[in-house]
Amino acid sequence: MTHPEYILTLSCPDQRGIVHRVSGFLAEHGCNILDSAQFGDQETQRFFMRVHFAAEDAGVGDAALRTEFAQLADTLRLEWNLHDAHAKPRVLLMVSKIGHCLNDLLFRYKSGLLPVEIPAIVSNHMDFYQLAASYNIPFHHLPLATGAPEAAKLAQEARIVDLMNTHQIDLVVLARYMQILSPDLCARLKGKAINIHHSFLPSFKGARPYAQAHKRGVKLIGATAHFVTGDLDEGPIIEQDVERVDHAMDAETLSAIGRDVECVVLARAVKWFVEHRILQNGDRTVIFK
């Protein structure tokens, strides 16, 4: 028999004895720590912790664990979440006309490397309908004409929100979804939407980053996975990586090379989210790998 496992994430003002109090709570409740990491930010005086533990004593129920931890959390002024380690987060994938990240995430999902449910794929184009079908995942075509009026955009977004509600979505992944989201939708997605930007941010924000990179003559190109916020390409960075390029490559070649970096960077970010390894620290992220 395997025991229930949990992942606890928390942050709070730094103070003496947090690790001791939390580890004490777990010991008292018959829980065994499998993995634990913590970080105290000297600058902001804020403390972050992630604990993966097994509830080994039969007597400890989920509800009791939560209720009793909530009391400790109040005392320590914790912001916290307690996740069932075996529950699969529910992910909504969004894409436009460039599909390498979508394809990559779907294959990871299918082959068991990415333990999520994917109840829906949304696109403003039809290009990846067949790909979605081959994975037996419902495909929602929510077109949006270039230069569509505000109202049309909001109506389209309302349907996205409907899908999120219907499917109890935990995470939205913008896998090269090339529409700027409205401020309202960004606000609603705070902390639960990841975008892949095809540059090494903060360089080359906005449109056509590979063309910008080519023009500037950089010797490495990159990709950045970040949380979506209302400030375009300014959200907290989760992961970045780069690849070497040279003078003989035009913008199109940079783009082709960059796709491989985008896939890997986005896949890492999604995996860390799913494993509850990402905590936000103001405009930055703490990643407990």
| Active-site residue set | 233
Q: Show the binding pattern over residues 6-35: x = contacts a copy of itself (CB under 8 A), - = does not.
A: ----------xx-xx--xx-xx----xxxx
CB 197 within 8 A of CB 180: no
CB 30 within 8 A of CB 56: yes
Q: Show the binding pattern over residues 200-239: x = contacts a copy of itself (CB under 8 A), - = does not.
A: xxxxx-----------xxxxx-x-------------xxxx
79 lies in the site for a copy of itself, by CB under 8 A: no
Q: Kindly tell me which of 169 and 265 has the beta carbon lying closer to a copy of itself.
A: 265
Type of residue numbered 3? H
85 lies in the site for a copy of itself, by CB under 8 A: no
Longest dimension (CA), the chain: 66
74 lies in the site for a copy of itself, by CB under 8 A: no
Smallest separation (angstroms) from a copy of itself to the CB of 113: 6
Smallest separation (angstroms) from a copy of itself to the CB of 141: 19
Place of tokens 């993966």: 52
Which of 71, 111, 165, 168 touches a copy of itself by CB under 8 A? 111
3-state secondary structure of 272: helix
CA–CA dist 280, 287 (Å, integer): 9
Q: What are the helix (H) ranges across 40-112?
A: 62-76, 100-110
Smallest separation (angstroms) from a copy of itself to the CB of 165: 30
**DSSP class of residue 179?**
S
**DSSP class of residue 115?**
-
Which of 3, 29, 90, 100 touches a copy of itself by CB under 8 A? 100
CA–CA dist 3, 94 (Å, integer): 35
Beta bridge partners of residue 278, listed in sequence order: 287
58, 71, 238, 247 from 228: Cα distances, Å? 41, 32, 11, 33
Place of tokens 């777990």: 26
Segment contacting a copy of itself (CB under 8 A): 80-88, 164-172, 175-183, 280-288? 280-288
260 lies in the site for a copy of itself, by CB under 8 A: yes
Segment 146 to 205, residues that bind a copy of itself, using CB under 8 A: 200-204
Smallest separation (angstroms) from a copy of itself to the CB of 79: 17
Spatial CB neighbours of 253, under 8 Å, sequence gap ≥ 6: 245
Which of 71, 75, 130, 168 touches a copy of itself by CB under 8 A? 130
CA–CA dist 105, 266 (Å, integer): 9
250 lies in the site for a copy of itself, by CB under 8 A: yes
Segment 46 to 65, residues that bind a copy of itself, using CB under 8 A: 56
Place of tokens 């970096």: 261
Site residues (vs a copy of itself, CB under 8 A)? 16-17, 19-20, 23-24, 26-27, 32-40, 42-43, 56, 99-100, 103-104, 107, 111, 113, 130-131, 134, 200-204, 216-220, 222, 236-242, 244, 246-248, 250, 256, 259-260, 263-264, 267, 281, 283-287, 289
